[in-house]
Structure 1
Amino acid sequence: MLFNEEWDIKLLPILNLYKGRKHPLNYENHYQLLIMVILSTQDSDANINKIAPNLFAIYPNLESLAVSNTEALIPHISKVRNFSTKANWIIKIAQHLKEDKNIPSIMEHLVALKGIGRKSANVIMREMKLPAEGIIADLHVIRVAPRIGLISESKDGNKVEKQLIQVLPKEIWSEIGMSLSFLGREICRPTNPKCDICPINTNCNYNNSSNT
């Protein structure tokens, strides 16, 4: 599968609609973003937003986490899925980075941190407005991209990202992942997608096949 110039044009309506929109996680700085992205793995953004205010009141920065431990952290994230494992990751990251200013700004260093995969790293880099080194492939993108006919179906986020990188120009990598994600959250729902109001419905395999 090679770069397809047509998709650059076909996806422009959703890029125009969602470009620059902040991620649904209600973070206030890069430290909060890092921690909330880790906590949101296999959990909902809404749930993480609920527990965040109390968590960050107790732990306002990496310095405060670095001198803590998993046992002390767990009560503040106990409503998060896999909280014990995530607490261990977060404490190790804090002890490694020590200060907020040391949060990595490149993919290689981000994915070297416990609990940070390519999807999480792409989210962090996009929100930090750093040059994209990949494309966000969250659960919504994994569902939507094959549905519209952009890539072949896969449940593996890394494989989905690799396919997207092959067919889309680097100039839109930073925004297209979140644009597809927002489309999946708001319009291209798993069931009863709102095809009639979708800005790219004329270029969607699912919509076109449904109307034949």
Structure 2
Amino acid sequence: MDLFSDSISWAEKLAPIITQYKDRKHPLEYQNLYQLVIMVILSAQDSDANINKIAPALFRRFPNFESLQHTTHDDLFPYISGVRHFQMKSAWILETAQLIKTDKNIPLTMETLTQLKGIGRKSANVIMKESFVKPAVGIVVDLHVLRVAPRIGLIPATKDGNKAEKLLMQLFPRTLWEDVGMCISFLGREICRPTNPKCPGCFINAHCHYYNNN
């Protein structure tokens, strides 16, 4: 079966996982927009679980952007040293704090968010989705989506998140952009694992290229 030319739309095929996951909160355990922005910056090339682990102490010491205004790298390092590339991310955070100055100035558009250091389209899409910015202007494409989308037959394999996002945006109506990326991500985290995927229990195995060709 050629899943790329199947007459059934991918919106219909993925309806079960959208129903299952669309209301699921992002795995980053943030309490407000400030925390979300900082945690998204820190999570690049690191796990959400690790960022959740270091976050409580970090935010007790630095509860808002105002508290980061006059902070030095030496002040910040002890709280984020367990994060990959923490020195680079410290520079991003402090530069962002100098630019934003206060939590009320946190931007919520793709153009303004991606001007901040450490925030690309994926991170901006996460921030806007979690902030209920509508209509969505893009689709969240994290490492799980980059792995799962080609596996199930949605798009060709690529390591370029922006390219993958553009391809997915062509496949789905804009009404689904807000949810579909994170729904695929949750599928990848829970069922469509890198090794030993739980294919028999998958909600969409009838339409999956991997399942139907292995």
**Category of TM-score, reference length = shorter chain:** over 0.9
Once the two structures are superposed, what CA deviation does each residue of 1:10-46 show, in whole Å capped at 9, x if it has no partner? 1100000001210111000000000000000000001
Q: Which among 177, 197, 205 is matched to residue 209 of structure 2?
A: 205
| Separation (CA, whole Å) in 1 of partners of 2:50 and 2:198 | 25
Q: Which among 28, 34, 38 is matched to residue 35 of structure 1?
A: 38
Q: Does 1:6 align with 2:9?
A: yes
Counterpart residue number, 2:193: 189
Structure 1 residue matching 2:84: 3-state secondary structure:
coil
| Mapping for residues 115-126 of structure 1, pairs under 5 Å | 115-126=118-129
Q: Which among 148, 154, 168 is matched to residue 150 of structure 1?
A: 154
Deviation above 3 Å: which 4+ runs of structure 1?
A: none
Counterpart residue number, 2:172: 168
- Structure 2 gaps of 5+ residues are none
Q: Tell me the matched-pair count.
A: 209
| Mapping for residues 51-200 of structure 1, pairs under 5 Å | 51-131=54-134, 132-200=136-204
| Separation (CA, whole Å) in 2 of partners of 1:182 and 1:161 | 17
| Separation (CA, whole Å) in 1 of partners of 2:162 and 2:8 | 22
Displacement of 1:5 in angstroms is: 6.7
Displacement of 1:166 in angstroms is: 1.3
Once the two structures are superposed, what CA deviation does each residue of 1:117-158 show, in whole Å capped at 9, x if it has no partner? 001111111111112110011000000001111111101111
Q: Sequence identity, in percent?
A: 61
TM-score scaled by structure 1? 0.96
| Separation (CA, whole Å) in 1 of partners of 2:16 and 2:33 | 29
Structure 2 residue matching 1:60: 3-state secondary structure:
coil
- Structure 1 gaps of 5+ residues are none
Once the two structures are superposed, what CA deviation does each residue of 1:148-189 show, in whole Å capped at 9, x if it has no partner? 111111011111111111111110000000000000000000
| Separation (CA, whole Å) in 2 of partners of 1:51 and 1:149 | 36
Displacement of 1:71 in angstroms is: 2.0
